[in-house]
Amino acid sequence: MSSSTDSPTLTTETTQLSPQPDTETAKPTKKITLKSSDNQIFEVEESVAMEFATVKSFFEDSPSTDTVPLPNVTAKPLSQVIEFCKEQIKFKANPDEAQKKKYNAEFVTEKSDKDLVDMIPVANYLEIKDLLDVLNQAVADRIENKSVEYVRSFFGIDNDFTAEEEAALRREHAWAYEGVDED
């Protein structure tokens, strides 16, 4: 969290007098290493890693560590989550609600069902609330007004009802099965 202003050692008098010292942008930003469960290494900027509440508290507990192991997270969803958080950092610096909404919508639109669902436990584990909201809403939008069969195959759920039980449930709310989208 140290910045150029509270730098303890001073350089030359000329840089001190310089009205706009350019040290902020010139200084390389700190990188943090994340290791996925399938042993892939991700180097991310500190600001991005601090978006992950889990990683942040890991560093607060043991500040000397340089690699954070993420035993519950595989490489593919992690890379997508990092991609999302990198963009969110930009919106934090330059708030633009319309652009952010557009980006978030595009981010989920181009993902497959599997990608979306695989990212949810990752976002949940890393405690990235904004992403979790976006993912849950995107999955809800994809199954809203879809058939029961579509939803079973979407989540890989086996039907454990008997034919009679299922027929009874369908009779109970027959209207809810009308006007459903094609699979």
| 3-class SS shares of the chain: helix, strand, coil, % to 5 | 60, 5, 35
User: Does residue 53 touch another protein according to CB under 8 A?
Assistant: no
For another protein, which is the closer residue by CB, 89 or 176? 176
Whether the Cβ atoms of residue 29 and residue 50 lie closer than 8 Å to each other: no
List, as one string, the DSSP characters of 14-70: HHHH-SS-THHHHSPPPEEEEE-TT--EEEEEHHHHTTSHHHHHHHHH-TT--EEE-
Q: Tell me the helices (H) and strands (E) count for the chain, helix number first.
A: 10, 3
Helix (H, G, I), strand (E, B), or coil: what is residue 126? coil
User: Does residue 175 touch another protein according to CB under 8 A?
Assistant: yes
CB of 24 to another protein, least distance (A): 37
User: Does residue 156 touch another protein according to CB under 8 A?
Assistant: yes
- Distances 142 to 16, 112, 159 between C-alpha atoms, Å: 57, 11, 20
In the 3-class helix/strand/coil scheme, how is 142-153 assigned residue by residue?
HHCCCCHHHHHH
Print the binding letters for residues 65-104 with another protein: x by CB under 8 A, - otherwise. ----------------------------------------
The residue from 40, 46, 76, 120 that contacts another protein (CB under 8 A) is 120
The residue from 68, 80, 118, 131 that contacts another protein (CB under 8 A) is 118
CB of 164 to another protein, least distance (A): 12
Print the binding letters for residues 125-144 with another protein: x by CB under 8 A, - otherwise. -------x---xx-xxxxxx
For another protein, which is the closer residue by CB, 51 or 118? 118
Give the end-to-end CA distance of the chain in Å, rounded to a whole number. 51
The residue from 61, 66, 158, 164 that contacts another protein (CB under 8 A) is 158
User: Does residue 37 touch another protein according to CB under 8 A?
Assistant: no
In the complex, which residues of this chain contact another protein (CB under 8 A)?
Answer: 112-114, 117-118, 120-121, 124, 132, 136-137, 139-148, 151-161, 166, 169-170, 173, 175-177, 180, 183
